[in-house]
């Protein structure tokens, strides 16, 4: 149905968008989003959705408000389901009320989905509760964007200064001298605690605590710029005690994730949970085979094998996709022993009704072979469903040990044709601290896009890899990894990066 949904995207942390808003994004024909709405939310959209960016940044309007209103009406009248994605809450200094009025005037149905406002979330991430029984019993949200050249302010500064409320000023950084001067003129003590919270709840989050009298000078000295909230009141004194988000070891540090787009989410989540600004730059993509008949034929004679060894989650997914195509299920493995190289692969099998008979303690081919020999693999027939391009160590070592091995390609890995400009620019500006590699193919394909000289010129960039094989491939490009995971798994790689950041910070997270 044709309808415009005014969605609150929350303050920036993708986890703070509501379930309702995410559901609407997944179904909308058209998405219109602002500068302050995290681009990560676009991942929730339909692949065929039409996306309009209409952000306003520092007076630079990509599309003026009246044109945004016209766009919403036009799309609704064209019979589209429209998601108007706005940072924070659409009705808290978000001009959502104006857009709703225009829709009513045009006869377009609409719905409002409230969001988490930055006035609550950003101070909370900084350790500042905006209400507290020991300090205040009310809170005021105020625009800090009032024109300081106006002959008379429309704000009741005396009421703010003498209310005892926590004051939260939106968009007030440029007017800090004006705001603080008016508060003190109205009777607020200059030593009243005050804080600025910039990019609250995002990986760029940072806060600054001072007093009303000193904040303008401190903000200028520390280079605080929009978008920032200005918080005034006794609750600010709790920041040092209750601050939690700024203790995250990777906060503000850029980390490049080179895994395929289908697999990047796990590593990205683990790093982002510790504050990292993740740059997903998939060096490879998983591609289905052009001809899946050999896979289906192998499934049809699976009973010929004693062992099936899965070397990756992708191998499990692609093999079972063909099992599904044949209208079969896990019963095709009856009487066959199954091995999984690594816990993630074992978990993928378990989700499909197969509990592996063998999972090695170390996840490299040499250790797998030793473990399988103990399991009696000699003289048995073995099937290895895997990528077309992969190391030959496992099948060769098993064959040398006396097993009869068939390698079955079930998917392809291909380089991703992605523009490296963002990564190169971020690396040159010092925004990137770590680059992570989860396989030899991610190394080769990353450097096919990003020249090694760019990485070598960035003195502060550290390279992290999942194991010795990947480390050896890095050596082919003239690099020695700074970090190698102790266990050859994605969680272990994330932990190694986090531990390195903690060590650099000189303490525990």
Q: pLDDT at position 58, please? A: 55
**Burial environment of residue 486 by CB neighbours within 10 A (0 to 12, 13 to 18, 19 or more):** exposed
Confidence at residue 150, expressed as pLDDT on a 0 to 100 scale: 67
The domain over range 287-414 is classified in CATH as 3.40.50.10090:
yes
Residue 140's H or E segment, with its range, is: strand 139-143
Which region holds residue 59: left if phi is over 0, alpha if psi is between -120 and 50, else beta?
left
Q: Out of 82-96, 125-139, 206-220, 260-274, pick the least confident.
A: 260-274
Per-residue pLDDT at 509: 45
The dotted CATH code for 120-246 is 3.30.950.10
pLDDT band at 39 (very low <50, low <70, confident <90, very high): confident
Q: Which of 3, 29, 56, 412 is catalytic?
A: 56
Q: How does DSSP assign 112-135, residue by residue? A: EE----HHHHHHHHTT--S-BTTT
Strands 381-387 and 404-415: parallel
pLDDT, one tens digit per residue, over 373-419 is: 899 999 999 999 999 887 788 899 999 999 999 999 999 988 888 89
Is pLDDT larger for residue 412 or for residue 231? 231
- Is residue 57 part of the annotated active site? The answer reads no
Of 3, 29, 70, 171, catalytic: 171
What pLDDT is attached to residue 148? 61
Q: How confident is the model at residue 361 (pLDDT cuts 50, 70, 90)?
A: confident
Mean pLDDT of 320-349: 95
pLDDT at 23: 97
**Spatial separation of the C-alpha atoms in residues 211 and 209, rounded to whole Å:** 7
- Looking at residue 276, its pLDDT comes to 97
Class of the 3-115 domain?
alpha beta
Cα 320 to Cα 127, 295, 307, distances in angstroms = 47, 10, 16
CA-wise closest residue to 383 among 433, 425, 333: 333
Q: The domain at 254-283+417-505 falls in which architecture?
A: 3-Layer(aba) Sandwich (3.40)
- As a whole number, the mean pLDDT across the chain is 92
- Give tens-digit pLDDT for 62-107: 788 899 999 999 999 999 999 999 999 999 998 999 999 999 999 9
Residues 10-19: what's their mean pLDDT? 93
Q: Tell me, yes or no, if 329 is annotated catalytic.
A: no
Report the percentage of the chain scoring pLDDT > 90: 76
184 is catalytic: no
Domain residues of the chain, as ranges? 3-115, 120-246, 254-283+417-505, 287-414
Average pLDDT rounded to a whole number, residues 284-306: 93
Say yes or no: do domains 254-283+417-505 and 287-414 share a fold.
yes
Residue 363's pLDDT band, with cuts at 50, 70 and 90, is low
Rg (CA), the chain: 28
Residue 473 has pLDDT above 80, yes or no: yes
Residue 147, number of CB atoms within 10 A of its CB:
9
Asked if residue 498 has pLDDT above 60, the reply is yes
Average pLDDT over residues 331-350: 94
For the ranges 53-62, 124-133, 152-161, the one whose mean pLDDT is highest: 124-133
Identify the top-confidence range among 38-47, 107-116, 138-147: 107-116
Q: Give 135-188 pLDDT, tens digit per residue.
A: 998 999 998 877 666 667 789 999 999 999 999 999 889 899 999 999 999 999
């Amino acid at each position: 149905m044709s309808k415009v949904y005014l969605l609150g995207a929350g303050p920036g942390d993708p986890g703070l968008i509501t379930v309702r808003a995410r559901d609407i994004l997944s179904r909308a024909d058209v998405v219109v989003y602002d500068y302050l709405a995290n681009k990560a939310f676009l991942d929730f959209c339909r692949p065929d959705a039409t996306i309009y960016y209409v952000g306003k940044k520092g007076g630079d309007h990509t599309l003026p408000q009246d044109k945004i209103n016209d766009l919403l009406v036009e799309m609704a009248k064209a019979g589209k389901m429209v998601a108007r994605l706005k940072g924070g809450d659409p009705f808290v200094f978000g001009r959502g009320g104006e857009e709703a009025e225009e829709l009513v005037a045009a006869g377009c149905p609409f719905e409002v989905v409230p969001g988490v406002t930055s006035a609550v979330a950003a101070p909370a991430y900084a350790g500042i509760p905006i209400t507290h029984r020991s300090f205040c019993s009310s809170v005021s949200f105020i625009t800090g964007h009032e024109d300081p050249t106006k002959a008379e302010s429309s704000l009741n500064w005396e009421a703010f200064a003498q209310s005892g409320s926590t004051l939260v000023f939106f968009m007030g950084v440029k007017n800090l001298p004006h705001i603080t001067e008016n508060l003190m003129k109205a009777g607020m003590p200059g030593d009243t605690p005050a804080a600025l919270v910039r990019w609250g709840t995002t990986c760029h989050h940072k806060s600054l605590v001072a007093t009303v009298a000193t904040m303008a000078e401190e903000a200028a000295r520390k280079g605080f710029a929009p978008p920032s909230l200005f918080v005034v009141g006794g609750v600010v004194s709790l920041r040092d005690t209750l601050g939690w988000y700024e203790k995250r070891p990777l906060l503000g540090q850029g980390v490049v994730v080179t895994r395929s787009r289908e697999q990047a989410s796990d590593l990205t989540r683990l790093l982002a949970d510790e504050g990292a600004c993740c740059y997903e730059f998939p060096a490879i993509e998983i591609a289905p085979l052009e001809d899946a008949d050999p896979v289906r034929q192998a499934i049809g004679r699976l009973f010929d094998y004693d062992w099936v060894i899965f070397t990756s989650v992708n191998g499990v997914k692609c093999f079972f996709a063909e099992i599904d195509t044949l209208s079969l299920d896990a019963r095709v493995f009856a009487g066959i022993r199954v091995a999984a190289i690594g816990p993630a692969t074992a978990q993928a099998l378990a989700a499909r009704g197969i509990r592996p008979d063998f999972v090695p303690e170390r996840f490299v081919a040499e250790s797998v072979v030793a473990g399988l020999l103990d399991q009696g693999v000699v003289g048995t027939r073995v099937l290895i469903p895997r990528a077309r391009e992969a190391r030959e160590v496992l099948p060769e070592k098993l064959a040398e040990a006396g097993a009869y091995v068939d390698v079955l390609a079930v998917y392809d890995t291909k380089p991703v044709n992605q523009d490296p400009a963002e990564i190169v620019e971020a690396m040159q500006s010092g925004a990137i601290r770590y680059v992570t590699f989860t396989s030899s193919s991610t190394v080769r394909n990353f450097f096919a896009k990003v020249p090694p000289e760019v990485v070598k010129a960035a003195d502060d960039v550290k390279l992290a890899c999942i194991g010795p094989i990947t480390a050896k491939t890095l050596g082919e490009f003239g690099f020695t990894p700074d970090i190698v995971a102790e266990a050859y798994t994605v969680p272990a790689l994330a932990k190694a990066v986090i531990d390195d950041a903690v060590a650099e910070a000189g303490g525990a997270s």
